[in-house]
C-alpha cells in the first residue's frame, strides 16, 4: 500500500500494479464467494469476478432478478442458489442487497456466518446504523467492505472497456488476520481502478451526503432552478435545456473530468471565465449551509431512519414510481428526450 499526496493530505492507496490480479487469485484460491442479491451492484461485481476467474456463486430468491441471473449465465443448482444455500456454501458472503433488503434478509444470512468466514458489504449503512438495522455480525468472522464509487452498471461497463472504477475499502472486524488481503483481493477482482482506505462510518456518511448532494439531489435542484428561471423569462425549452444540461453533460464535464476545473475554465471564452469566477463565490456561500445541514442530518442517523422507514412501507415501490414518473414527465426531462434524439450519434 502506498501513501499518496492528495491536496497536501496523505492517504493510503492500493493500485492494481501493487496488488495484482495474480496475487488476488492466490489470496482467494480456496475461497467460495457468494454474491447475495442481484440488483444494483450484484451483477457488475459477480460478473467481473467470474470473468476474472474467481469461484463465484449467486444467492437470490426466485423472481425477476433470479431470471436475470439465469440470462447472465448463472446456472441453477451449479452457480445459482437460494440465499440460505449460497450462504452455507460460501466462505465469503458478499451482501449486495439494498439497505432495506439487508434488514429483512439478515435473519436468513446470520445463521451461516460460521467462524472464519468473511461478511462483505459495498456500503457501510447496515453496520454504521446497526442500532436501527439490527445488522450485528458475530465476533468470530471478518467484516469487510469494498465500495465502488459508481453504479454496478458503470463498474461492469468500465471493466469491459479495460478501465477501472475507483473504490474505497475498509475493515470493520479482522478475526482471521487475513481480512485486509481478502478485502484487497476482492477489490481487484471486481475491477477497481485503485482502492483508497476509509471506515464503514465514513463511507456511509459521505455516500449518503453525496447522493443527496452533488451527485443526485443537489444537481437536480440546481438544474431545475436554472431551467425554470430561463423559461420564466421567455427562453424556449430547447434553449433552456441546452444552456442548463446539454452543454454541461456533453461538453464541459468531460473537460474538467479530464484535467480539472481550472483547465476547463482556461478552455472556455473569457466572458465565461470571468462570470464563473465571479459567481462561484455567491453559489458556494448560498449552498454550503444546505450541505452542512444535510451532513448533520446524515451523521445523526436521521437520513438513515428516513430511508429505513420509507423503504419498509408495503407501497414503497408504487410511491417511488409516482415520484419518478413526475420527474420523468417534467418539461425539462421531456425536452431531454427530444434533445438526445437530435444528437449526431443518433442520426
Residue with the bigger pLDDT between 255 and 322: it is 322
Q: What is the mean pLDDT of residues 327-340?
A: 96
Q: Determine contact, residues 89/264, Cβ cutoff 8 Å.
A: no
Q: Is the pLDDT of residue 188 over 90?
A: yes
DSSP state, residue 168:
E
pLDDT value at position 5?
A: 82
Q: Is the pLDDT of residue 215 over 80?
A: yes
CB proximity list for 336: less than 8 A, separation 6 or greater: 241, 245, 246
Q: Is the pLDDT of residue 120 over 90?
A: yes
Q: Is the pLDDT of residue 1 over 80?
A: no
Q: What is the mean pLDDT of residues 89-108?
A: 95
Taking the CA of residue 269 as centre, how many other CA atoms within 13 Å lie in the half-sphere pointing to its CB?
3
Distance, in Å, from the CA atom of 34 to the CA atom of 90, rounded to the nearest integer, reads 5
Q: What is the mean pLDDT of residues 227-252?
A: 96
Q: Is the pLDDT of residue 2 over 80?
A: no
Rounded to the nearest 5°, which phi and psi values hold at 252? -85, -40
Residue with the bigger pLDDT between 54 and 317: it is 54
Report pLDDT digits (tens) over 240-290: 999 999 999 999 998 898 899 999 999 889 999 999 999 999 999 999 999
Q: What is the mean pLDDT of residues 209-237?
A: 97
- Residues forming beta bridges with residue 148, ordered by sequence position: 167
Model confidence at 9, pLDDT cuts 50, 70, 90, reads: confident
pLDDT value at position 3?
A: 80
pTM of the model: 0.90
The sign of the torsion formed by the CA atoms of 10, 12, 15, 19 equals positive
Task: Report the chain's mean pLDDT, rounded to a whole number.
Answer: 95
Query: Which residue of the set 25, 108, 123, 235 is catalytic?
Result: 123
Give, for 266, the enclosing helix (H) or strand (E). helix 261-266
Model confidence at 160, pLDDT cuts 50, 70, 90, reads: very high
- The DSSP bridge pattern shows strands 118-121 and 142-148 to be parallel
Active site residue 25: no
Report pLDDT digits (tens) over 64-92: 999 999 999 999 999 999 999 999 999 99
Question: Could you tell me which of 167, 37, 41, 176 has the C-alpha nearest to residue 93?
Answer: 37
Q: Is the pLDDT of residue 347 over 80?
A: no
Distance, in Å, from the CA atom of 190 to the CA atom of 196, rounded to the nearest integer, reads 15
- The DSSP bridge pattern shows strands 33-36 and 56-59 to be parallel
pLDDT value at position 41?
A: 94
Q: What is the mean pLDDT of residues 281-303?
A: 97
- 332-341: string of b/e by CB count within 10 Å (b at 16+)? bbebbeebee
- Map residue 35 onto helix, strand or coil: strand
Give, for 57, the enclosing helix (H) or strand (E). strand 56-59
What is the share, in percent, of the chain residues with pLDDT greater than 70? Answer: 100
Amino acid at each position: 500500500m502506498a501513501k499518496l499526496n492528495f491536496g497536501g493530505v496523505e492517504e493510503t492507496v492500493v493500485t492494481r500494479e501493487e496488488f495484482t490480479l495474480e496475487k488476488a487469485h492466490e489470496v482467494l484460491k480456496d475461497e467460495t464467494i457468494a454474491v447475495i442479491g442481484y440488483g444494483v451492484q450484484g451483477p457488475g461485481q459477480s460478473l467481473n469476478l467470474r470473468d476474472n476467474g474467481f469461484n463465484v456463486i449467486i444467492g437470490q430468491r426466485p423472481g425477476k432478478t433470479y431470471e436475470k441471473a439465469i440470462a447472465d449465465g448463472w446456472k441453477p443448482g451449479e452457480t445459482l442458489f437460494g440465499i440460505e444455500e449460497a450462504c452455507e456454501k460460501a466462505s465469503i458472503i458478499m451482501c449486495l442487497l439494498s439497505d432495506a433488503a439487508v434488514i429483512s434478509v439478515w435473519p436468513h444470512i446470520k445463521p451461516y456466518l460460521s467462524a472464519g468466514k468473511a461478511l462483505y458489504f459495498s456500503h457501510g449503512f447496515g453496520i454504521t446504523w446497526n442500532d436501527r438495522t439490527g445488522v450485528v455480525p458475530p465476533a468470530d468472522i471478518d467484516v469487510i467492505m469494498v465500495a465502488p464509487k459508481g453504479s454496478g452498471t458503470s463498474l461492469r461497463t468500465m471493466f469491459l472497456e479495460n478501465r477501472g472504477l475507483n473504490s474505497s475499502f475498509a475493515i470493520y472486524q479482522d478475526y482471521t488476520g487475513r481480512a485486509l488481503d481478502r478485502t484487497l483481493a476482492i477489490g481487484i477482482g471486481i475491477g477497481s481502478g485503485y482502492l483508497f482506505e476509509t471506515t464503514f462510518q465514513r463511507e456511509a456518511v459521505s455516500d449518503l451526503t453525496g447522493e443527496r448532494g452533488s451527485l443526485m439531489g443537489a444537481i437536480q435542484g440546481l438544474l431545475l432552478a436554472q431551467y425554470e428561471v430561463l423559461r420564466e423569462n421567455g427562453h424556449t425549452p430547447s434553449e433552456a435545456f441546452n444552456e442548463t444540461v446539454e452543454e454541461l453533460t456533453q461538453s464541459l464535464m468531460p473537460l474538467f473530468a479530464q484535467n480539472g476545473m481550472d483547465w476547463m475554465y482556461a478552455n472556455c471564452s473569457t466572458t465565461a471565465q470571468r462570470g464563473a469566477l465571479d459567481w462561484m463565490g455567491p453559489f458556494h456561500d448560498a449552498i454550503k449551509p444546505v450541505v452542512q445541514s444535510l451532513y448533520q442530518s446524515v451523521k445523526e442517523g436521521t437520513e438513515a431512519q428516513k430511508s429505513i422507514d420509507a423503504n419498509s412501507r408495503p407501497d414503497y415501490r408504487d410511491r417511488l414510481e409516482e415520484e419518478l414518473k413526475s420527474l420523468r414527465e417534467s418539461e425539462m426531462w421531456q425536452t431531454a428526450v427530444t434533445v438526445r434524439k437530435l444528437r449526431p450519434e443518433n442520426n
